[in-house]
Amino acid sequence: MTQDFYLYNTLTRTKEKFEPINPPNVGLYVCGPTVYGDPHLGHARPAVTFDLLFRYLKHLGYKVRYVRNITDVGHLEDELADEGEDKIQKRARIEKLEPMEVVQHYTNRYHHFMDLLNVLPPSIEPHASGHIIEQQQMVKDIIDKGFAYEINGSVYFDLQKYNSRYGYGTLSGRVMDEMISNTRELEGGDEKRFPLDFALWKKADATHIMRWPSAWGEGYPGWHVECSVMGMKYLGSCYDIHGGGMDLIFPHHECEIAQSTAVTGKPHVRFWIHNNMVTINGQKMSKSKNNFITLEDIFTGQNELLEKAFSPMTVRFYMLQAHYAGTLDFSNDALKAAEQGLARLRKGMQNLEKIKSSEDSTVNVKVLEKKAYDAMNDDMNSPVILAHLFEGTRMINAIQDGHERISRKDLRQLRNFMHAFSYDILGLKPEQEQVSGDEGRSGELIGLILQLRQEAKERKDFATADRIRSGLAALGVKVKDTKDGYEWEIG
């Protein structure tokens, strides 16, 4: 059924046919969160994007080893200058906790919210702080290869030397000379031979808590080293796919390529895939603009930008409505629209279970299924897939209304197709089906009882009407008579 799967490779700026290096195995590495704050939309988008890729690769029958890291050390406030306080240490200082308590708390929160979004756990979730020795080893290797230098207990990557040998900036499309002229005077640049050189290992000053002994004295790894190290440790020196947010292309992924290439002499990744950013009402999300929305805000409705709470599956649906490579503007209205779209799809999925087959078909399931696979194979075009799923729900409704007919074989195929795409690939699970089903049922049962009470009143059977009211009260349902009829509430 499936054909060639094409993915847009940031490195080559073309859609390329995906073929694993070592089929049926696929190695996938994705940059995970720096765990110093509550998960927000900026965490959800890469998680959902690469969950879609992970799910589809598995659907295609590959054996995927998906590595998504936890950054718990080395990510400094000023990423470009390699200066400032460690983000986690800063949070620990503010909250009066040991840094690893901060890491544990926000890692647990991240897992919780990813679970709610139906994001599958990766095969391995390595921590940067859990691979210090491996990072030190890579730093040594880079020094041995002549692409790094030690100064005052810190080690920096020698970017000019690397650039002259391998060329730097291919992924981001930047040219060294332009970068230099655009570089502001960087703080702490004194130590660096060249302003764009980046830290592989930083000397820990007296106030730094997260520190380890090394050949260069006590210190901690630079931010970029961890991903080179953990990707290659678990997926080999050259693996299939590396993903992450577009904001990571420069400098993080560019530096990662430089580090790995410096050691092995060749690039370590075949496909670089990047999701685009989330904006809020057209603006970049930032704490200073006070338009910063956490996932908890959305799921509880506790944010002034939101009218009400939206469910995790609504958020997932909303993200899938845009192609991962386009920006995604977040707003209360966009979520309301996504909620309606999801409800329509779910209604279709429910009707799918009810429709009956006929002797023959007037619908073409095969073509519909092919179009959905074509969209998925065209760089994971999830909005187009959703359009085809809606075509599927229209087909289902037309069959239910008797305007179309479907054969037994086609109905089986339609069910397989709708389930595979809605549930397995897009990951839109039926949400708290039990509870809402039951809540809905209680409400409708109460409605039925109150109609009976109304009828009793109309025939002047007040004894029955009162009995119904007290019967409901015993079950916690309060009934209030109004001039238009009645209202009720549970509580």
Residue ranges binding a copy of itself (CB under 8 A): 65, 98, 100-101, 103-105, 108, 111, 121-127, 129-134, 136-137, 212-213, 234, 434-435, 438-439, 441-442, 444-446, 448-449, 451-452, 455, 464, 468, 471-472, 475-477, 490
- Give the span between the Cα atoms of 52 and 483, in whole angstroms: 53
111 vs 145, beta carbon nearer a copy of itself: 111
In 3D space, the residue among 179, 174, 326 whose CA is nearest the CA of residue 253 turns out to be 174
In 3D space, the residue among 256, 241, 188, 480 whose CA is nearest the CA of residue 379 turns out to be 241
213 vs 326, beta carbon nearer a copy of itself: 213
List helix spans (H) across 117-244.
Answer: 132-144, 159-166, 176-182, 225-235
Phi and psi at 185, nearest 5°, equal: -60, 115
**Least Å distance between CB 75 and a copy of itself?**
17
Half-sphere exposure of 61 (CA within 13 A, CB side): 7
220 vs 318, beta carbon nearer a copy of itself: 220
250 vs 486, beta carbon nearer a copy of itself: 486
| Contact assessment for residue 47 and residue 114, using Cβ atoms and an 8 Å cutoff | yes
- Give the span between the Cα atoms of 472 and 138, in whole angstroms: 70
**Least Å distance between CB 103 and a copy of itself?**
8
**Least Å distance between CB 229 and a copy of itself?**
12
**Angle in degrees, 0-180, between the axes of helices 332-354 and 312-320, rounded to the nearest 10:** 100
124 vs 337, beta carbon nearer a copy of itself: 124
| Contact assessment for residue 15 and residue 266, using Cβ atoms and an 8 Å cutoff | no
**Least Å distance between CB 125 and a copy of itself?**
6
- Give the span between the Cα atoms of 133 and 135, in whole angstroms: 5
**Least Å distance between CB 73 and a copy of itself?**
11
List helix spans (H) across 265-331.
Answer: 295-300, 312-320
**Least Å distance between CB 96 and a copy of itself?**
9
In 3D space, the residue among 129, 35, 31, 44 whose CA is nearest the CA of residue 90 turns out to be 35
At 406 the three-state DSSP class reads coil
**Least Å distance between CB 124 and a copy of itself?**
5
**Least Å distance between CB 193 and a copy of itself?**
28
Bridge-based pairing of strands 239-245 and 25-30 is parallel
Neighbours of 260 (CB within 10 A): 23
Residue 36: partners with Cβ closer than 8 Å, 6 or more residues away: 75, 87, 88, 90, 91, 102, 106
In 3D space, the residue among 245, 232, 334 whose CA is nearest the CA of residue 47 turns out to be 245
**Least Å distance between CB 133 and a copy of itself?**
5
**Least Å distance between CB 9 and a copy of itself?**
26
At 170 the three-state DSSP class reads coil
1 vs 474, beta carbon nearer a copy of itself: 474
41 vs 114, beta carbon nearer a copy of itself: 114
| Contact assessment for residue 114 and residue 107, using Cβ atoms and an 8 Å cutoff | no
175 vs 452, beta carbon nearer a copy of itself: 452
Give the single-character DSSP code of 429: P
Provide the token pair at 175. Answer: 């040219």
**Least Å distance between CB 100 and a copy of itself?**
5
Neighbours of 289 (CB within 10 A): 11
- Give the span between the Cα atoms of 49 and 244, in whole angstroms: 9
105 vs 344, beta carbon nearer a copy of itself: 105
Q: 275 forms bridges with which residues in the sheet?
A: 245
- Give the span between the Cα atoms of 50 and 43, in whole angstroms: 11
7 vs 263, beta carbon nearer a copy of itself: 263
55 vs 65, beta carbon nearer a copy of itself: 65
**Least Å distance between CB 434 and a copy of itself?**
5
94 vs 133, beta carbon nearer a copy of itself: 133
